Amino acid sequence: VIMIRNVMNDKIIVVDCDGVLLDWEHSFKLWMKEKGYEVKNDVEYSMAKSYEMEKPEMKKLIRHFNESATMCCLPPLRDAVKYVRKIHEELGYVFHCVTSMTLDRHANKLREQNLSNLFGETAFEKVHCLDTGADKDEALLPYLDSGCMWVEDKIKNAELGDRLGMSAVLMKHDHQNDYTNDAIPAVESWKEIYEMLS
């Protein structure tokens, strides 16, 4: 059993969005297909490697996608809806989302709408949108030594939260199968997180 120490006044869980709450990758690949791009290598975390493209070119496409109307309706990741709602409604936690999406305010509103439609209007107390691919160091500083749970699918960001004194949890995907870090539990579902907390 993993003990989640929580020294903040409220029961707060800090979460990344894409690859944790929402199935961004599935929607991005459909969007890319519509634009005429085919996946070349489907086992990579890096979209630039998946499509055998230069990083700056891929970053432009990702930004374009993240600023598109698609942001209103990305599907949930795995069992996120059921268990995020249970964690909020049964266990009394609220969520703060920190997402490196885009600074476009219209796209940010669509992201908030997407989360509200899937998880209910009261689950997310804050949605903090950073620039496309931005580092999360500054955004996580308010949670320094808080012991708040931090759920992230990017190894670098999970480890960042751990260093900052948060209770990091890695949401696993196929590309991280060989990852091992005893300090950071890796989960494949929100059910596992719900069980950790209850």
Segment 8-35 mean pLDDT: 92
Does residue 183 surpass a pLDDT of 90?
no
Residue 4: the pLDDT is 43
Note the pLDDT tens digit of each residue in 119-168. 999 999 999 999 999 999 999 999 999 999 999 999 999 999 999 999 99
178 burial class (0-12, 13-18, 19+ CB within 10 angstroms)? exposed
Q: Grade residue 46 by pLDDT with cuts at 50, 70 and 90.
A: confident
Q: Determine what percent of the chain is predicted with pLDDT higher than 90.
A: 87
Give 131's contacts (C-beta < 8 A, 6+ positions apart): 100, 102, 103
d(CA 162, CA 159): 5
Q: Is 70 exceeded by the pLDDT of residue 32?
A: yes
Judged by DSSP in three states, 119 sits in helix
Model confidence at 10, in pLDDT bands (50, 70, 90)?
low
Mean pLDDT score of the chain? 92
Separation CA 74–CA 189 (nearest Å): 18
CA atoms of 39 and 59, how far apart (whole Å): 16
Q: Name every residue whose Cβ is closer than 8 Å to that of residue 77 and which is 6 or more positions away in sequence.
A: 19, 20, 21, 22, 23, 171
Over residues 77-121, the pLDDT tens digits come to 999 999 999 999 999 999 999 999 999 999 999 999 999 999 999
| Whole-prediction pTM | 0.92
Percent of all residues in the chain with a pLDDT value above 70, rounded to a whole number: 94
Q: Does the pLDDT value for residue 5 go beyond 70? A: no
Place of tokens 């989960």: 187
The DSSP symbol for 22 reads B
Q: Look at residue 174 and tell me whether its pLDDT is greater than 50.
A: yes
pLDDT computed for residue 164 by the predictor: 96
